[in-house]
Structure 1
Amino acid sequence: MAYLDFAPIFKLYGGQDEWPASEMVHCETIATRSRLHNWHIRPHRHSGLYQVLSLHSGKATIWLDDRQHQLEGPGMVEVPQAFVHGYDFTSHCSGHVITIAYPLLAHLVQRLDPKASLPDHPAIYGFTDAHSAQMLHEACTQLQAQYASTRPYREAQIEAWLTLLYARLRSSHPRGTRPASPSRGLGHYTRFCELLEGAYSQHHDVAWFADKVGLTPAHLNVVTRTHGGKSPLQLIHERLALEANRCLLYTPLTIAEISGALGFAEPAHFTRFFRQATGESPRDFRRKAAMTTWGQRPAT
């Protein structure tokens, strides 16, 4: 309980705004971030993000909620949203950290098995089979290469490697570290996130979500602030803005068409919402993104 009360919530460890809002996946090596913190990642948690740590070589002490575990590479750690986790690595560990936003994770899960549910508990995977370990390491390495590239079809190739990685992970066998069942509050938060994922474009108010979860709006506010670090309304607006970003970046839809698809009565309402959420108009956001894609700088 103490961890849930006091463990900080990050998008990525060490900062709140490092991840571009339009991206639904982030990939980096273990050394990229851990070296900045003397190979020690203090216990923390993520809201709306699922994370996989692939330890190719080296050793790590792992905190999952209030329990400590040891892992020697090759191995993997799987952490769903809101679970407290931290790491102590030996110097010069090698491996990758892959962080996936839940909308993309849900898409991957449904693609592999329409009846499957999202992961609801952390797990540690230790590999004694060299072939399995090498296949997972290859998938992580290829994913990192595509993530860092600017080549055509980058998003499609990232999704393909993510799908392969998740399929290989699901077919592996956890070593047997499964913490206690999620708390009731975390269960309510997970249910809210599931509802939000299916209804973000319908513009329901907080009271609607609270009723579906089985809480009062005030209690739902406590739950989301405890497990997500933000109010329900903030999370609703963030999810809608995320979808708007992706529509502007990755589809040829006009702004009016995006406005309608996201449930806005008028394009002007959508433009006002987007400007409040991002600080710029949809048209300016799309123009700057297009120039960046082609390696140009926006005119000043």
Structure 2
Amino acid sequence: MSLFDTASGDWPSSPAQHQIEILPDTEAGVIRTALTPTSWTLRGRRNRGFVLVSGEGQLDFESSELPFISPCAIWLPAGKTARLTLKSGSRGALVSVSELAFGRAVPAGLVGRQVKDALLHPLIGARLQKPQALELMSAIEAVERELRSELPGGQEAARHHLVLALMTLWRISSPQPQQVQAAPRTIVRNFLHLLELHLRDHWTIAAYAGVLKVSRARLTSAVKRITGRAPLELIHERLVIEAEALLAESNLQVAEIADALGFKDAGYFNRFYKRETGIPPGRTRKRGAERKKSFPGFHEWP
């Protein structure tokens, strides 16, 4: 059963068996979109965790439009509202947890405090490895299964699987959003961390600034002050580094490399690469092949 009503885009009423003592107001389930994009309004009454294993979408959050592509994860703490849109054919899972259930699920101790502190902040489209995404989806599906089960110990089992899902979200969590007056070096450090997570998503500078809770001008100023370069320059440099590595070391076609780096059009990738490096991608590939001939691998040693 799907957690969402994809026909209306509404969150359905909870069946009675979802209202349990240990995890009150907690729901979990699978999301599958049909042949058209589907949107939902996520109101801030509960914490929500979402994993996308296939497809792509967009999160309208705090005046920013944040695209994401599978496999990835999203976490919105209670009090945060957003509009979630998934393109046709997307598949994932979502868990909705009340503050009371969240507090009961997370274990006591140092790690528990770290989980709670980290998940006070949004996690937007953090990239996952496919096995990691499937594991997170499996944990969420297990929460749903145990919540619906009438077997003995179902509530405790649901809490167990919920803890596993929350621990996974904590481990992949992005830096905590910064206040406007955060130190420039802190802003830059967190920007660079986000850049590694979302390089292939081609976020705008405004999107990075929105997640970091600073203005675009503040982010640009901080990055220039610490690195001497504009944020967009750093983004382009990282894309070029990734492109050069794939061109020189992989057997992927240029169009496949463009797709792997988030370029929807191979022609645009070619123009971008030549503009940034002064040479077309094909020439970099040729140089890489010549370099391999000049420096044989270990298996070719006498």
TM value normalised by structure 2:
0.47
TM value normalised by structure 1:
0.48
Bigger Rg over Cα: 2
